[in-house]
Each structure stands twice: as C-alpha cells, then as structure tokens.
Structure 1
Amino acid sequence: MKVTNHKTLWALLGSIIISSNAMAQEKPNIILLYADDISARELPIYGSTVWSPPKGGNSSDIQYRAKTPVLNQLAEEGCYIKTAWAATVCGPSRAMMMTGRYAHLHKWWHNKDKGKAPDGKGSWNLYDSSPHSIANVAKAGGYATFWAGKTQMNIEGFAFDEGCFTPGEGSYNKAIHTTDFRLETRKVNGKKKIFNADTNKEIHKKSYVQSGWYWKPHVQLMNHPGTNKKLVWWPNTKKAKKEFGLNTFGPDVELDFIFEFMERKQKEGEPFFVYHTSHLGHDAWDFLHPGSGNKWPGTPKINWDGTKYSRIEPHITGDKGVYNTHGTVTESGIHHHINYLDYQVWQYINKFKELGIENNTIFIFCADNGTSGYGKSSPISQKGTHVPLIIYAPGMHMTKKGLQDVLVNISDMLPTIADIAQVEIPDSYEINGESLLPFLTTDKKTHRNWIYAYHKETQIVRGNLVLKDGNNVWYDVSRTPEDLISFPKITDWGKVSQAHRKERDELLRVIPQYDLHETAHDAPVNGIGPVTPLILKK
C-alpha cells in the first residue's frame, strides 16, 4: 500500500500549538513506545475478563490485573484501537514495525526462521532488505532520532543518531566489567551448559543465554555526546560508576537518556523521533531470586494516589544470588511490568509539560506480540497478534477520540510517521502499511478492510467478519467475546451470512501475494537493486 499523500493533512497538523520555546520547529515530536510481549487483554481499557497471572496462562483474579490510570486517560483523551495486529513473535513484529513491510519482503518469518542474505551468509539485515526504514523516514523528515531499549538485531546500518541499548550490543556471553548478571554457555566435558555468571552455578531449569536487562543491566550508549566512539559501555563517568549497582533498573536508565536527548533537541529547536523499545513485559531470568522460577522479575515499587505517582527508591543488598530487596521491589508478575510502564508514561507526559512540548508531541503506545505463556508465538486465532495501540496527540486536530472499532496493523506505523514528517515514499518502493493520519484527522469512518500477520510458513488474516488463523481455522469475529479471543469457529459456511462468505473470498485473494515462505524464503540473489530516494514533500 502506498503512503497517502493528502496535502490537506499537513494543514490539519498545522493546528498543533507550538510553544514559545520551540523556536522555529514546525513538525511535531514523535514518541513511539513499543512494549514487549503484552497482549491487548492485559490493559484494563480493553475490558477483557481474563489476563495473565504471575506464572503465565489465564486468570480472572483481580489482584493480577494491571492498573493503568495514565494510559486509560490518554486512551480516552486521545484514541485507542480495538483490533491492532502485529506478528506473533518479537523479531518479525519488530521487522514489520521498522520496515512497514511483511515477511515476503524482509524475510524475517520467525525469530529462528529468517531468510539468508544474498551472499548466503547469515540472515538478511533489515536495513539491507528495506533501506527506507522507520529511522530513515524520520531522518528524511528532518528529525533527530534516538533508539532506546531492546534491539534484537544488527544495528549498524540503521540511521538513528543516538541510542541507549539494554542489554548492549554484543553483551551476550561476554563479561562486562560493570555487571555479572548474565546467563552464559560454558563447555563441561565437551558439552555446552548454561551457567549463571553471578552465582557461578549451572542452570538446570529451562532457560536461554541472556544478559540482564532489568536489575544491574548491561547498558551500551551509541553516539552519545562526550564520547569518541560509536558504542561505549555505560556507566562511563565517575558519577555513573559510583551510582551504578544492584539498585539500577534498566528501564529507568533508558528513560533517563531519552529525557536527556529530548532536552538537548528541544533547546536546539530540532524535532525528535524516539523509538523506545522497552523490555518491560518480557519475561527474564530473575537474578535477584535465581532459584524462584519467577517468570517476570519484580520492578521498583510505585504508588498512584489518584493524581500522581510516587516511587520507592530500591534498596537491594547481597551478592552471588543471595539478595534482600528490603520490601522495595514488587513480587513477580507481568501486571507489575505494565504498572511500571504506566508510571513511565506519566513521566513522559510530565516531561512534555516541563519542556513546553505537550501540544507539539505525538505519543504512541503499542506492543510487539501477545503475552508470553498465553499468546506469544501462537498462530491460534489472534492470540499472538492482538496488541494494544494508543495514540495521544493533544495538539493535533484529531477527529477520533476513545475506542475506535477499526482494523490496524503495526506496519501502518511507518507510513503514518512518514505522513507526519511530510516524507513521501516512492511508488516503486513497496510498503504494506497504510497511514493512519487520514483516519485520525478527517471524517473517514474506517481505516482498512483487512489486517495480516505471519507465523513461519503460515498466514493469518482477518476482516471485520471473519478470521483465518495459522492453522487454517476460520472464526466468526463479527462480535467480540468477553475474553477477546473465544470467537466461534466456522465449520459450516452455509450457517453464516453471505457477507461472511464474501469477506472470506476476499481474504483468500489477499494471501497468495504474501505466501512466499516456500518459494522465496531467502533474499534475492542480487539483493534489491537501486532504490529511489525518499522525497520531502513541499
């Protein structure tokens, strides 16, 4: 699908109020907070009667339901999408987000199923398969760019100006002088085994090699002012080294560097795009409780008093796997991660107000795939694909508020940002996403007629009436069940309406153009060839 080129859209965006200290800046800042492994059902605004308990699975126990007063407010004052889809697992979803394209083009079919590069060596880098990435689009629009959090890919070819990565690039199975919070492989009697570097003990429970991204995290900065290298390990100053330790929480570090970047760019009068790929929501090894089997490590404790958040300063003591959190860290559970995201969104909004840019900033909150232990990597129905999506832009002339019963795909984010940045993507360059800006700013009733996802070799597609999952099971989605997932299966097409059958046929015509896992799994032998540059609209 082509990026919508509506001259009137920018005129509508021109209604954004530009604060007195924004200097000559004309374009709105953009924050895209991409949370990790969080199904739409986990956010109270979606009204599900079921969510995830601390060990994973399903629960209707209210104590495990997240509390998100800030996100709730932003969703009602801005808008939120009833049915937004990503891919079923993180790598392909991030590929879709960063390229605006599906796997038939970028070849990231699944985390461990990626197409080979043209030379046959290694998987195809996204910036090679799709040079007009989300970073390139923002840069072409005149934005300063920052990438914070999780990467899960080779970063060297992306156009981001700066970054703060947790864990840092190359920190897996590598001793970082600041932290031993990592699981690493070691050879014992010729066999590879996984050890906890903090305790020096072998891991017998099911896990994988990972560096700590929550407590005492592995952090790397990219192109940070004051450093003469592209990538440096943090802490890298006397003050930071003194403060770093067990009480350092990775998501806090990310936000600190994001805010520092925002402050600098605001002073320079330069619009900025922040791509914040938070780890929050993703399960991990709990280094503070290595024998617990916890799925989601605890976060710093926070409290909402009805108008504002307060945070208890973490106080953790101990070493080598024996720690005391002194009541300053929550119990395990994804609901605590979502609560902490809500706290961070509150911090974002406060920062916008402090910098005088709340009415000149577009804030987008979404997630990459379904919750671990429930929907992640599941091709069943929309368990793996259904994610939250909230858009808050108080200074933009948005004609939509609150819940929007429309279909949106994560691939739509790139062309939406292109429209906001006044960047035109050439017709010769295939984009599968469709800009949301016309829907958000005009009287347009719908956004798109169908949404699509992929899971290895399988295709998942739905419209407003029917859905085909990765197991080729069809569902009637004309009504939403209380748990957001238990749609009735269609086993007899004679018992549904003609409209259902018509939409089924339309969806079946969509699939073949993307169903190339078997016939075009890898990159073209000669790559993609010359690419027409991005164009800045006049």
Structure 2
Amino acid sequence: MYKLKMMYLALLMFGASHGQNKPNIVLLFADDISARELPIYKSSVWSPPEGGNTTNLEYRAKTPVLDKLAEEGCYVKTAWAATVCGPSRAMMMTGRYAHLHKWWHNKDKGKAPNGKGIWNLYDSSPHSIADVAKAGGYATFWAGKTQMKIDGFAFDEGCFTPGEGSYNTPIYTTDFRLESRKINGKKVIFNADTNKEIHKKSYVQSGWYWKPHVQLLHHPSTSQRLVWWPHDKKSKKRFGLDTFGPDVELEFVFDFMERKAKADAPFFVYHTSHLGHDAWDFLNPSSKGKWPGTPKISWNGKKYTRVTPKVTGDNGVYNDYGTITENGIHSHVNYLDYQVWQYLNKFKELGIENNTIFIFCADNGTSGYGKSSPICQKGTHVPLIIYAPGMNLTKKGVQDVLVNMADIVPTIAELGGVEFPESYEMNGESLIPFLTTNKTTHRDWIYGYHKEMTLIRGSLVLKDGNNVWYDVSEYPDDLISFPKIKDWDEVSEAHRSERDKLKEVVPRFDRHARAHDAPEGGYGEVDRLIKK
C-alpha cells in the first residue's frame, strides 16, 4: 500500500504537461569525474592536466549552469558508485550490486552460465534501466559510451561513440585509432593515424572525441538496426577532423527529443558521455596531458558562446588555429556545463522545461586520482545533481544524505508507475520518497565494490576496500582526508554501533570468492515488472 501511495504522490508532484501523465527523464552520466572536480563540492584540491592533485585555480572547472541547477534543484553531498567504470555502469544499468550481475571490475567479470564469455548484464539482470523505462511507458534513447554488449537492452534508439573495441570492426570511419600489432612476436601499440608505434603508456582504443567512431541504433534515416555514421552523403560531407564526438551525441539526442515531444510521448534519455575520461590525444600525440581539449567556449554571465572548431593537417601534425582548449579534465567539466546549458535551452524550446527531470552524475573517481582506487572513498565518491523545475521538489540545495548509483533504476521505476516483482532482488532504493516528502534521510548506508574488495559507509564511519575504518562524521577540506579509526575506544558509542551494523550488511554482498560466476542455469525464470 505504501509503494502505491508513493507512486501516486510522485506522479502528482511531478505534474505533467502536454497531456503526458509522467515527466521526461534525462540522465547525464559523465565519465571518471570525482565530486571534487565540481566547484559546488567546495574541495580545496582538484586534478591538473597530468592527473594527481593541484590547488592551482587555473585548472579548476567553471560550472555556472551546474551550480545554478544544484542550488535551484538539489545535489547530494555523498553519492557513491563502484570504483571503476564497468562495475559502476553495471550498478547504474541494473540497480544491483556485483554479487548478482558479477561485474566485479573491468577485468574481473563472472562467466556466463555456460562458462563461455562474461555474463551479459541483460542476462544477469533482465529488469535493466531500459526495461524499467519501457515498462513505464517511456520512449528510450542511449547516447555515448557503451563498454558492454548492447544487443539485449531494450533501448528504442541510440547514438554510440564506442571507443573500446570498435577497432575490431571491418568498417573504419576514422583513422584516429590505437591498434595492437604483432612485431617480432610481440604485441605493440600503433597509432593508425601516424602509422607509428607509440611509446607513451596507453591502451587500444578508437577515437571518441575528435574525428570519432560513431554508431547509430534504429535511427529513422536508415532501415538497418546498427549503422556506422557518417552513413549518407550529407553526414559524410560534414565529417572530419573538426567533428567532436560529444557534439554528435547531443545532436542525435536532440533529434530524438524533438520527435518525441512533437508526438506528446514521454522519453528517457540515458546519456553516458565520454567527457571526463582520459584518452589518446590524436591532435597532439606528444601531449603529456591526459584529457584532449574540447571546442572553446565562453560564458558571459547569461549564456555560452562556442567557437566553431577548425582543424587541418594529417599524420599526427595538426593546426587547430586556437579553436580548441588546453588539455585537462577542467576543460571537460566546463564543456559538460555547456552541454547542460544546451539541454536546458532545448527543454525550453520544446516547451517541456517544467515537465523534465534532469539528473547529472558520474561513474567513478577521476583518472590519476580516484579511478579504480579502493582507498577510503577516492574511487566511489561522485557528483549527483537532480533538477526538476516546476515539479515542487521538497529538497533544495545541498543534501547531506547517502545515495548509491543503484538508486536511479528504482527511482525511474517509481516515476513510471512500475513495481519490481517481490522475487526480484533490487539493491537500489527509490529517491522519490526523499525528494517529494519531508523525509530527512534516504538510506542508512551505501556500498561499493572493487574486485574481491567491499566498501561501505554510513553517516559516521566508512570501511574501505583495504578494511581500513574512517571517521566520516565531518568532511575534510579535500573531501578525502578523513581520520582513520585506530582505537575504537576513542570514538563515540554511535560510531561503534554503526560499525557493527555495517559489518552485518557486508556478508550479503561479499561473494567474490564463493560465487564469482553466474550460477548454473542463471537465475531461472524471472517474473515480469508490474505496471500500476
């Protein structure tokens, strides 16, 4: 009865326009961005272009739009993902932890029931974010990074900049690729653009920033299910060195939104941007920085202006005529702010600004600082902003609560009026009760994972992947230097009590050693989602 009441309250408070009975949802899931990279989190330290730590204001991001959204909407002080992208995206896609989907780490994934290959997320967790949105009546679009097989997900359309693995395709739409070649019996990484071996540490990848690899799913311009873009005369004519992957993604997202708004159809956009992720800088192959530059932008206090990029050259020697920013994650965060501004303008243009929920978050900590780190909350602490103007949220500004990325799936389910069957284990908890009532807390603990390691924290104590305990009752200036608890007699009884409760929770999910792979036969038949 409580669930039904909350669903009704959610739909009432997120009142619809244009005849829709539910709000549109746009989820912008950025890549490898710690909470500390956004000025709203007020960290005293952030990341320089080479990675690591800096207090140099030159490298601090400027995010006037995200700042405004965080103040007028709300943002979460302590949101957690997993420590690295694959497992974190698995958490987001399924609302479940690794003990169920078996994605323990990027290179540590459980085998499928037949023992061959990894267990696909859509097989391990059939009620994925796409299935839930579809069951709720949403048209669905997935844009950006994939990092997983897409075949079994229920998205209606998509625009992908796959990057990882796209070099295996027989169709090359870009020579901005790092590829593995065998030289004298040894594997060597070559830059396909220069046809030279690279000596800087990197991995095989296809470009997802400049001159990117792009693939479309079920686009109305073609009868093919998947097609590599550019795929027609018009797109081939415009494609070149000055084509920026994140711009292409947003163009196709907006095309989808326009069509659905015109049809009065509610939509869900899952935008998994590459922005924030380090990459080989094909335009500057000798660069020491980790993050290739973006098109230059400027903010005048009211709006952004973007410089049209111009790039000429070939074979690793290029001139960008000053139209591209310097290397650095701050440039990526700035460009995300610009794209959020574009989103807001599009919502207004389509007349849906008061009936659209916009969520901004990231998958794990920054490369060169927190990514893949099990120490404290370096790898797990990510930004989370929720903006829903005209929808009477009861929460504004900073929220000192605990949120897991797994919570997004059940939140979407509640907005769509969908319930999970009782037999289906869901580790996330819907945010709707917290966002739409006078409830002051969301959940008592949040959880993360890193291979065989488990991380968990409450409001007072945190256990990291190395089983080190921290007093997290107050945030330090750098968001990470919590005092370690070496003597439990020196902290309060409340600290000890919370520690004991967290210790009781961990064994439910700590199954890496005893249940690493999929169970024989999978999980069997799964009951359908319940539409209310």
TM-score with structure 1 setting the length: 0.97
Alignment of 1:259-270 (within 5 A): 259-270=254-265
Alignment of 1:321-400 (within 5 A): 321-400=316-395
Cα distance in 2 between the residues matched to 1:175 and 1:339: 35
* 2:270 is the alignment partner of 1:275: yes
Task: Give the superposition deviation at 1:395.
Answer: 2.5
Task: Give the superposition deviation at 1:5.
Answer: 1.3
Amino acid at match of 1:452: Y
Does the 8 A contact of 2:15 with 2:21 survive in 1? no
Does the 8 A contact of 1:376 with 1:383 survive in 2? yes
Cα distance in 1 between the residues matched to 2:437 and 2:53: 39
For 1:11, the equivalent position in structure 2 comes to 9
Does the 8 A contact of 2:164 with 2:205 survive in 1? no
Amino acid at match of 2:9: A
Cα distance in 2 between the residues matched to 1:283 and 1:93: 17
Cα distance in 2 between the residues matched to 1:89 and 1:145: 25
Task: Give the superposition deviation at 1:54.
Answer: 0.5
| 1:495-514 deviation per Cα after TM superposition (whole angstroms, max 9, x unaligned) | 00000000000000000010
Cα distance in 2 between the residues matched to 1:393 and 1:251: 24
SS in 2 for 1:5: helix
Alignment of 1:124-135 (within 5 A): 124-135=119-130
Amino acid at match of 2:270: Y
Aligned-residue sequence identity (percent) comes to: 76
For 1:209, the equivalent position in structure 2 comes to 204
Task: Give the superposition deviation at 1:236.
Answer: 1.1
Cα distance in 1 between the residues matched to 2:13 and 2:59: 41
* 2:187 is the alignment partner of 1:189: no
Cα distance in 2 between the residues matched to 1:376 and 1:141: 34
Runs (4 or more) in structure 1 with deviation over 4 Å come to: none
Does the 8 A contact of 2:15 with 2:23 survive in 1? no
Task: Give the superposition deviation at 1:177.
Answer: 3.8
> How many residues are paired up?
532
Alignment of 1:47-446 (within 5 A): 47-167=42-162, 171-174=166-169, 176-446=171-441
SS in 2 for 1:405: strand
For 1:508, the equivalent position in structure 2 comes to 503
Q: Which runs of 5+ in 2 are unaligned?
A: none
Cα distance in 1 between the residues matched to 2:206 and 2:304: 30
Does the 8 A contact of 1:27 with 1:271 survive in 2? yes
Amino acid at match of 2:104: W
Cα distance in 1 between the residues matched to 2:221 and 2:480: 50
Cα distance in 1 between the residues matched to 2:257 and 2:321: 34
Amino acid at match of 1:481: P
Task: Give the superposition deviation at 1:172.
Answer: 2.2
Does the 8 A contact of 1:107 with 1:114 survive in 2? yes
Amino acid at match of 2:277: H
For 1:489, the equivalent position in structure 2 comes to 484
For 1:473, the equivalent position in structure 2 comes to 468
Task: Give the superposition deviation at 1:203.
Answer: 1.2
SS in 2 for 1:172: helix
Cα distance in 2 between the residues matched to 1:325 and 1:227: 33
Cα distance in 2 between the residues matched to 1:395 and 1:535: 28
The alignment yields a C-alpha RMSD, in angstroms, of 1.2
* 2:36 is the alignment partner of 1:41: yes
Amino acid at match of 1:263: E
- What is the aligned counterpart of 1:30 among 1, 25, 31? 25
Go from structure 1 to structure 2 and tell me whether the alpha carbon gap of 1:173 and 1:398 turns closer, same or farther (over 3 Å shift). same
Task: Give the superposition deviation at 1:293.
Answer: 2.8
Cα distance in 2 between the residues matched to 1:292 and 1:169: 21
Task: Give the superposition deviation at 1:204.
Answer: 1.6
Cα distance in 2 between the residues matched to 1:509 and 1:342: 41
Q: Which runs of 5+ in 1 are unaligned?
A: none
SS in 2 for 1:221: strand
Does the 8 A contact of 2:147 with 2:162 survive in 1? no
Cα distance in 1 between the residues matched to 2:416 and 2:16: 16
Cα distance in 2 between the residues matched to 1:172 and 1:124: 22
Amino acid at match of 1:437: I
SS in 1 for 2:3: coil
Cα distance in 2 between the residues matched to 1:169 and 1:142: 32
For 1:463, the equivalent position in structure 2 comes to 458
Amino acid at match of 2:517: D
Cα distance in 2 between the residues matched to 1:85 and 1:18: 30
Cα distance in 2 between the residues matched to 1:173 and 1:279: 20
Does the 8 A contact of 1:4 with 1:434 survive in 2? no
Go from structure 1 to structure 2 and tell me whether the alpha carbon gap of 1:49 and 1:168 turns closer, same or farther (over 3 Å shift). closer
Cα distance in 2 between the residues matched to 1:383 and 1:57: 12
Cα distance in 2 between the residues matched to 1:296 and 1:461: 30
Cα distance in 1 between the residues matched to 2:170 and 2:63: 37
Does the 8 A contact of 2:27 with 2:360 survive in 1? yes
Amino acid at match of 1:262: M
Amino acid at match of 2:11: L
Does the 8 A contact of 2:13 with 2:436 survive in 1? no
| 1:165-206 deviation per Cα after TM superposition (whole angstroms, max 9, x unaligned) | 003685224454431000001111222111100000011211
Does the 8 A contact of 2:164 with 2:206 survive in 1? no
Cα distance in 1 between the residues matched to 2:417 and 2:392: 16
Cα distance in 2 between the residues matched to 1:381 and 1:151: 28
Cα distance in 2 between the residues matched to 1:106 and 1:119: 15
Does the 8 A contact of 2:37 with 2:46 survive in 1? yes
Cα distance in 1 between the residues matched to 2:498 and 2:215: 48
Does the 8 A contact of 1:361 with 1:395 survive in 2? no
| 1:371-416 deviation per Cα after TM superposition (whole angstroms, max 9, x unaligned) | 0000000000000000000000012221000000000000000000
